[in-house]
Structures are given as structure tokens and as C-alpha cells.
Chains A and B, each alone.
Chain A
Amino acid sequence: MMEDLSQYPLELKGPDIPMVRFSRVTKRYGDLTVLDDLDLDVTTGEMVTIIGPSGSGKTTVLRMLMTLETINEGVIYVDGQPLTHMVKGDKLVPADRKYLRKMRSQIGMCFQHFNLFPHMTALENCMEGPVQVLGMKKKEARERSEELLELVGMADKRDQHPSRLSGGQQQRVAIARALAMRPKVMLFDEVTSALDPEVIGEVTNVIRSLVDEHNLTMLMVTHQMGFAKDISDRVCFFYGGSIEEQGTPEELFGNPQKERTQQFLSAVKEAG
């Protein structure tokens, strides 16, 4: 059955439109429903953290926003414009590659396993997007990339290949690389999960500095509850493909209302 897309607006209007809106988004893999009728708004400049047990669909949220996954139902909007769909005539139709490329430029992402390009130095990794995609002059891209590597504390390693860097260092370069594309929205997908405990701090400190210094909208999936508590404006607890409970870190961690949230938080606390 074809979904009736006429229930969704062609664009979002008004003085305070969200930077990101998930509108009734459903994602299935075969019979398995990963996200179920999800509604989620993220305000410009907001830092939203997604927590939850594995299989709750939290990473899928980020992957769909980065257009690494298609969606089955619903519409995602970025800065008021549809992301997963485009307007044709006066109707929404699934986005084509060209439209996705245009919309995707507003979003940046950091991955659990960094995914740096191994055949390029830290600096070259950061320059690749600005030069090839944004058409920036090499000199300008270099200067900008050096600034960003400075920001993440990796300026002295700029000529090293990823294989010469520790996990924490690689992740910091990956953050600089994503920032070099000047995204409006940054996605952090379990960026500390593959790191040794002693280097987690150097990555979380960089993310912390972004919250303070930039007017970036950020979505983060993490298992670091302490970190989530510290830096989030809002925390969403995902369970079974939808948001079970959400609130400020004080509300969600300090006084969780739902039983599943309480169970999850106490299980994490015991483990941790």
C-alpha cells in the first residue's frame, strides 16, 4: 500500500521551525520494525542525546538523517525542507540522488569506527570534502583544516596517516573533518564506544567545546551516561523503536518516570 504523503506539509514555515523534524517516521528491515512512527523535533543549536538498549533504533535515527538509510514511512525535514522527499508539482515524492546530495550538505557525521581515509594524512582527510565537494581553493581549505585540527588539538599530527594515530586521535581528526564541511547539524554515532577508556576524555572534551563555542545543532548516540548528563540540552530514551521518555538530563537521569527508563538506567549504573 502506498503511503499517503499529502498529510505532510511541503515545507515547514514559521518563526521557530525546528532544525530537524522526524514526522511519523517508520523504518523496517523485512519484518523487523526498527523505528515505529517516530516524531522528534530538534531545535537549532540544541544538543540532543539518544540513549537506550541496543536494538532500540537509536543509531538508525542518525543513519537516516545522514541518508545512509532510506525510510519506509514518514518524512524527515531539515531546516524546514523535506530531506527524504522532494517537492514535485505540489506533491512530495521520494528524493532522488541529486536532491539528496543537495540536502545532505547540511549534515555532518562522526562514526563509531572513525572511518578516516587511511591513505590520506589527517590534514588531507580534512581537506578532501572542502576541495572536492565545496570547490574550495586548496590554500583556503588547508588553512581552514589546520584551524580545525588546532581546535581538536591535532595540529601537530596533521601530516600523520590514520594508522599512526590512536583511536582518540583518529576520532578527533574525524570530528575536524566533519566540521570542515560546515554542517548545520552534526551527528555523533557512539563516537567513544571503540575507544580505550583513558582516551575517551579527549574526545568528549572536543564535543563539549563544540557545544560551548558553536551554534551547531547536534544529535548524539552514546553509552556514556555521565557525558550525556553533562552536555545535553535534552535526553531521549529509546525503547523498541520509539521514544519511551525524554526530558532534560536532570529530569531523565534524576527522576525517570517510566519503568523501562528506570530499569535501563539502573542496569547501566550497575554495569558501569
Chain B
Amino acid sequence: MGFNWNWAFTWEILPKLLHATLNTLMAAGFGYAIALVLGMVFALAQRTPYWALTKVVREVVEFIRSTPLILQIFFVYYVGPQFGLKLGPWTAGMIAIGLHYSAYLSEVYRGGLESVAKGQWEACTALNLSTRDTYLRIVIPQAIPPALAGMGNYLVGIFKDTPMLSVIGVAELMHTANAIGSSSYRYLEPYTLVGIIFLAISLPTAALIRVFEGYVRRKLGLK
């Protein structure tokens, strides 16, 4: 067949793909929001004095990290209904990808929390701060900057993993490209465009995260 790039076809499918990009961004955004919050819950749950809770959460995190995302997506969407959990592709997809990344983010948070010097905890005790204030006002603000790089990596990661949601019919970028390909028998243009769109979003995001990291450090007076 050789290399024949069809510009007319490219311009024709581009609006469709750009529209699907919005869905991809939305999926990444919602999924990441879930992961940010749930990840913090997982991280903090492993630091309570309750031994059993720590153990259970630790195992859950390990389990999620050790099994493929695509399996988890299938599981929530296809096996969920057997347990009375009947979800649309979007909801199922957000839950699966959010849960998956929350396990990774909890590890990033854990590293951040552990990077806070022991003396900071002791100063909190000496000032008689409550456990809640110790975390919210002293420890977490210091744990965030060292965690930002890892958090940013997973933001890009979740964005790049959204194509997996196409397997359950979420109309994101990959799903749309597949649909174009199978109806027109042309795959070169849609897949190439998908690649370019991902690159065009991932690269600046990674750069922005670095800028943001510096900003946060300055804002907190840590630099």
C-alpha cells in the first residue's frame, strides 16, 4: 500500500477527534480527581494506630497495583452487575481508573508524608497540636511539594491510559479513532492524529507540572 497520507481525509476527521479529545480530558480529569482524594484516604488509613485497618488497606493497595488496569475496567463494568452494581461505561470507567491510580497516588503521598522530618512531628507534640491540626496544618503542606513530581507523572499516566476505556465503549479519543478506521478502512491518519494529540497535551503538561512545583515551593516558603 505504501505511504499515502490523505490531507483531505485528515481535515475531515480532525474535528471529530478534537471533540473526542474533550472526552479524553474529561475522563482523565474525573479519574484523577477520584484518585487524588481516594489516594489520600488510602495513605492516611495506613498511618492510623489501628493495626488491622493498616494491614487491610496495604493489601488492597498492593492488589490494585499488581493487577492490570484493563482487567479492573472489565471487572467493574462486566462483573459489577452480577453484584447488583449496574453502571454505565463512563461511571464504571471512572471508578476503575480512579481506583487504579489512587493506589499509585497513595504510595506517592506515603513517600511525601515520610519525607517530613521527625522533628516536625515532635514540634507538633511539644506545641500540643491535635492530630488533625498536625496533619492538615503542618505535615501535609510539607508532604505535598516532594510528592508533586510523582503526582504529575501519574496525571500524565492516567491521561495516557484513558484509551483503555475504549474497551467498554467510552467515546474517548481512541474509541473514536477506531470507529473512523473501521468505517473508512483508513487507519494511518486517525492513529497518527491520536498520537500527535496525546503528545501535544502530555509534553506541555509535564513542563507545567515542573513550573507548578516551583511555584508551590515558593508559595509555602520552602525555597
Interface residues of A (CB under 8 A from B): 66-68, 101, 104-105, 107-109, 111, 113-121, 128-129, 132-133, 161-163, 177-178, 181
Contact = CB atoms under 8 A, between A and B. Distances in A.
A161 B128 contact: no
A163 B222 contact: yes
Contacts of B127: 128-129, 133, 177-178, 181
A210 to B, nearest CB: 17
A111 B128 contact: no
B119 A111 contact: yes
Contacts of B222: 118-119, 161, 163
Contacts of B117: 115
A119 B221 contact: yes
Given A132-B133, A133-B130, A115 B125 contact: no
B128 A129 contact: yes
A108 B126 contact: yes
Nearest to B216: A119
A207 B79 CA distance: 68
A113 B119 contact: yes
Given A68-B126, A101-B130, A107-B126, 13 more contacts: A68-B125, A114-B119, A115-B119, A118-B222, A119-B221, A121-B221, A128-B127, A132-B129, A132-B130, A133-B133, A161-B221, A162-B221, A178-B126
Contacts of A121: 221
Interface string B39-74: 000000000000000000000000000000000000
A57 B129 CA distance: 27
Query: What 6 A-B pairs have minimum CB-CB distances, sorted nearest first?
Result: A161-B221, A115-B123, A115-B119, A119-B220, A129-B127, A109-B126
- The CB with the most chain B CB atoms within 10 A, among A117, A120, A128, A133, is that of A117
Nearest to B218: A161
B123 A133 contact: no
Contacts of A181: 127-128
Instruction: Report the interface size class on chain B.
Output: 20 to 34
A67 B128 CA distance: 10
Contacts of B129: 128-129, 132-133
A181 B133 CA distance: 16
A182 to B, nearest CB: 11
A133 to B, nearest CB: 5
Interface in B167-223: 220-223
Contacts of B142: 117-119
A181 B222 CA distance: 25
A117 B125 contact: no
Contacts of B138: 117, 128
Contact of B125 (A66, A116, A119): A66
- The CB with the most chain B CB atoms within 10 A, among A66, A104, A108, A128, is that of A128
Contacts of A132: 129-130, 133, 137
B10 interface: no
- The CB with the most chain A CB atoms within 10 A, among B122, B123, B221, is that of B123
Contacts of A129: 127-129
A116 to B, nearest CB: 7
B163 interface: no
9 contacts: A66-B125, A68-B122, A101-B128, A104-B125, A115-B117, A115-B119, A129-B128, A132-B129, A178-B127
Contact of B123 (A101, A104, A105, A117): A117
B126 to A, nearest CB: 4
B115 interface: no
B128 A104 contact: yes
